[in-house]
Chain A
Amino acid sequence: MNRRCLAFRANFELGQPDEHRDICPACARYAAALEVAARLSRSLAIPPALAGKLRALAEVGSPAPRAEFIPPAAPALPLPPTLAARLRAIPRRQAPPSWLLQPAASVAASLLLTVALTGLIGNPVSRVEPLARSLGLRARLAAENQAEHGKLLLQQWRDTAFGAVTTAEGAGRDDDETLDQPDIADRLWHYFDGLVWSRTEADP
């Protein structure tokens, strides 16, 4: 395309005569095409949606990015009253005396408890002597463990002791004929001994 063609096309206006159009067939076709397009545009209006998109193109220079999907917030459940009560109780059950967390103290407490129980239901000397030896050995092992372990140990022993007291109380209320004191003492002794072994041997 030469310079005259370029100038003609740049300055072309509908309905304006130009001699270049008469001598250049290519530019004549170009001008005719524009005239046809102009006639069509007068008969076919641009749809509003398309016009809007075209205007947006001119404003931002590129298609608008797709909006990001954001999930809505989930509805909130109320705090259950039972849970609120459990949470309020946390400080009360979280603060045992520090000496109570020592494994040695746990062992001593269980020993005293055992003495008291066997005193109630059996011969204290024959029952406590081997148990005391056994506990003495275990106490040294348990003392090497951490306070956390001691706390667990104490909790288990405490539960067991409550169970044992309940059993003893129940047995005391029974008829003398049905009360088997040596049997209860034996069972308690084995239970404590087994428990001590399991707790001191289970964790290195």
Chain B
Amino acid sequence: MSAAVSPDLLLARRAAAGQPQAWDELIALYGQRIFNLAYQFTGGLAEAEDLAQEVFCRLYQNLRSYRGDVPLVAWTLRLSRNLCIDHYRQARRAQRLQRAPEALLEQLPADADPQADFARREQLDLIYQGLAQLAEEVASVILLRDLQGLEYEEVALALDLPLGTVKSRLHRGRQELAAAIERLTTGSPRLARTETSGGTVP
């Protein structure tokens, strides 16, 4: 009995074989995700576009070596890990990620209650301010897992870390982030959600 071939692998094979529609499909499936990841790494729209293009170039060049055993996004990120981390360091040094980027704030869904709107914007802004105070290796894990929603395994693959290290860094990072935000807000209880209940955190 043959093992099931993942849809990612089929798509990658078709794109590697030169089928334009397969490449377009890849862009449709993962373009936005890669672009948003790039935006988190760079903090600027133009830089994010350049980085996303470079990531896709590497994906195209390496499509034939994709085996389908891991998700394509994480595999693509692993190909460009050093590039992404370099951009992330540059963005942190240039203090482009000290506040929530305006482009992201504009994407927050509008609420009928202006006060709730303001609170959401402030919350996102505080998270970015807090992340800027964390060490890079911890902040990058939170960025990928919490802000961008990658699975634990995907984060481990993308950052080339053991799964246990990802989990421990994430746990430590969340604590440090909560403490940093608490310092920033002097104990404001507005934030946020929890793993199980979605309640507030003191």
- Asked if A42 lies at the interface with its beta carbon under 8 angstroms from chain B, I say no
Is A83 an interface residue, CB under 8 A from the partner? yes
- Which residue of chain B is the closest to A82 with respect to CB atoms? B49
- Verify A71–B57 contact, CB threshold 8 A: no
Which residues of chain B are near A74, meaning CB under 8 Å?
36, 40, 104, 124, 147-148
A40 at the interface (CB under 8 A from B): no
Say yes or no for B64: interface residue by CB 8 A criterion.
no
Q: Is the interface of B mostly helix, strand, loop or mixed?
A: helix
How many chain A residues touch B (CB < 8 A): the figure is 25
Asked whether B24 is an interface residue with its Cβ less than 8 Å from the other chain, the reply is yes
B174 touches A87 (CB 8 A): no
Cβ 8 A contact of A83, one of B52, B103, B175:
B52
**Of B31, B61, B147, B197, which one neighbours A84 at CB under 8 angstroms?**
B31
- Say whether B194 faces chain A, with CB atoms less than 8 Å apart: yes
List, in ascending order, chain B residues with CB within 8 A of A73's CB: 146-149
Q: How many A-B residue pairs have CB under 8 A?
A: 107
Does A69 contact B191, Cβ atoms closer than 8 Å?
yes
Using A69-B191, A76-B107, A77-B107 as known contacts, say yes or no to A88 and B24 having CB atoms under 8 A apart.
yes
CB–CB B53/A86 < 8 A: yes
A67 in contact with B201 (CB, 8 Å) = yes
Task: Give the docked Cα–Cα distance between A183 and B123 (Å).
Answer: 66
State A70–B36 Cα separation when bound (angstroms): 19
> What residues of B have a CB within 8 angstroms of the CB of A94 in the complex?
57, 60-61
Which residue of chain A lies nearest to B181 when distances are taken between CB atoms in the complex?
Answer: A69
Q: Tell me whether B187 is interfacial, beta carbon within 8 Å.
A: no
Give every chain A residue within 8 A of B56 (Cβ-Cβ): 87, 90
Bound: A83/B32 CA distance, A: 10
Q: Does A204 contact B (CB under 8 A)?
A: no
Partner of A70, one of B104, B146, B148: B146
- Say if the beta carbon of A75 comes within 8 Å of chain B: yes
Extra A-B contacts (9), CB below 8 Å, given A71-B127, A73-B149, A79-B32? A67-B197, A67-B201, A68-B194, A68-B195, A72-B193, A74-B104, A78-B32, A83-B53, A87-B53
9 pairs of residues in contact across A and B, judged by CB atoms under 8 Å: A67-B195, A67-B197, A69-B177, A69-B191, A72-B127, A77-B104, A79-B35, A88-B24, A95-B18
